[in-house]
Amino acid sequence: MRRLLGALLALAMMAGAACGGGGGGGNPLEQSAATVNGEKIPADDIREELTAFKETAEYKQLVEQQGADAISRQFEQVTLARLARRAVLVPVAEDMGIEVSDEEIDQQLEQVKAQLPSEEAFDKALEERGFTLGEVKDLFHDQLIEQKLQQKVTADSGPTEGRLREEYAADPAAFDETHYQHILVKKESTAKDLSAQLQKAPDGKVDSLFPQLAKKLSEDPSAAENGGDLGFLPAGQLVPEFEEAAAKLDMGEVSAPVQTEFGFHVIRVTGRRSLSFEEARPQLEQALGASEGEAAWMSFVKKAYEDADVEINPRFGELDLDTQQIVNPGAESVPGSEAPEE
């Protein structure tokens, strides 16, 4: 899980109690922020989370930028969207036999704790947001079950052979690669001296001299191990000034100093190659697999919402099926409008 600590702190501010009941007859939305398949998401749950959020430094910073009404409105909508998403997707995952074990939840919890200086610091972070350990575990349960659901949905969504070949044929030059060496220094005068020294060296000497100088003088932290050898890289991996200068070099030629945001580079190109379709296949599969997997997942989630009976109290906004977010219905919506009375 990326940036576990940040995710915990951010979601802790937005997480509410699980969908629950609530008495009263008549219109079920009168006392609820929403209903999902007949299960209520109480408006009080969202109000309680908003009250807790207002005690945080994040809230105060955002209020200074956007105003209290706008931030409160956005918080309510984000919180409601999260609770509705849980109510829609968790039952779908469970129906597909997806489970999350206590051990998996504990493992995620330990990864978060490992990013804090102590157990006490973790406890304090929860206390400041009014969270119990059990509530945090529930949060991780929901995150993990959705991750597993996404993995299951996208497992067979990879690109076809024809799609891979079509993508390769559309721009074969996108799979050209260049083998670079470089030495990075802070001063232009140093770069000039290095460039002159390497340019004057006999051709057979440069192959050994360049890595020696890189290990000794380069500011690039990796140079101590790789001798300034960056390997084969496709276009777009390095800053434009570097790549533009390297593109003008003949094979084995040493450049004059090239300035970038990192300092001054002495560059040498030692190889150029064009990947065949088979050589480019792993890159194509990764790129297209990610995009097609994301498309399959988004389609699945949208269908799950369409199949569910989701009703949003209009005082909170309306559901955007494409993004699964709660949004203001139109320009006349007033940020910070009151939540429904109970």
Give tens-digit pLDDT for 159-213. Answer: 888 989 998 999 998 999 999 999 999 999 999 999 999 999 987 899 999 999 9
**pLDDT band with cut points at 50, 70 and 90 for residue 220:** very high
**All residues at 6 or more sequence positions from 203 whose CB lies less than 8 Å from its CB, including other chains:** 252
83, 17: one domain: yes
147, 177: one domain: no
Percentage of the chain beyond pLDDT 90 is 64
Domain that holds residue 61: 4-155+309-327
The pLDDT assigned to 98 comes to: 95
What letter would DSSP give residue 254? B
pLDDT tens, residue by residue, 4-38: 444 444 444 444 333 333 344 445 556 799 999 99
What Cα–Cα distance (Å) separates residue 121 from each residue in 12, 53, 117, 128, 211? 15, 19, 6, 11, 46
The pLDDT assigned to 155 comes to: 83
226, 149: one domain: no
**All residues at 6 or more sequence positions from 289 whose CB lies less than 8 Å from its CB, including other chains:** 157, 158, 159
The pLDDT assigned to 23 comes to: 40
187, 143: one domain: no
pLDDT tens, residue by residue, 248-258: 999 999 999 99
Q: Residue 275 pLDDT more than 70?
A: yes
HSE toward the beta carbon, residue 188, CA cutoff 13 A = 5
Instruction: Report if residue 52 sits inside a domain.
Output: yes
pLDDT tens, residue by residue, 276-322: 999 999 888 888 878 888 888 999 999 999 999 999 999 999 999 99
Number of domains in the chain: 2
Instruction: Report if residue 165 sits inside a domain.
Output: no
Residue of 11 and 89 predicted with greater confidence: 89
322, 258: one domain: no
Please provide the average confidence, as pLDDT, over all residues in the chain: 85
Q: Residue 337 pLDDT more than 50?
A: no
In this prediction the pTM is: 0.59
134, 243: one domain: no
32, 97: one domain: yes
The pLDDT assigned to 130 comes to: 62
* Helix-then-strand count for the chain, H and E: 13, 9
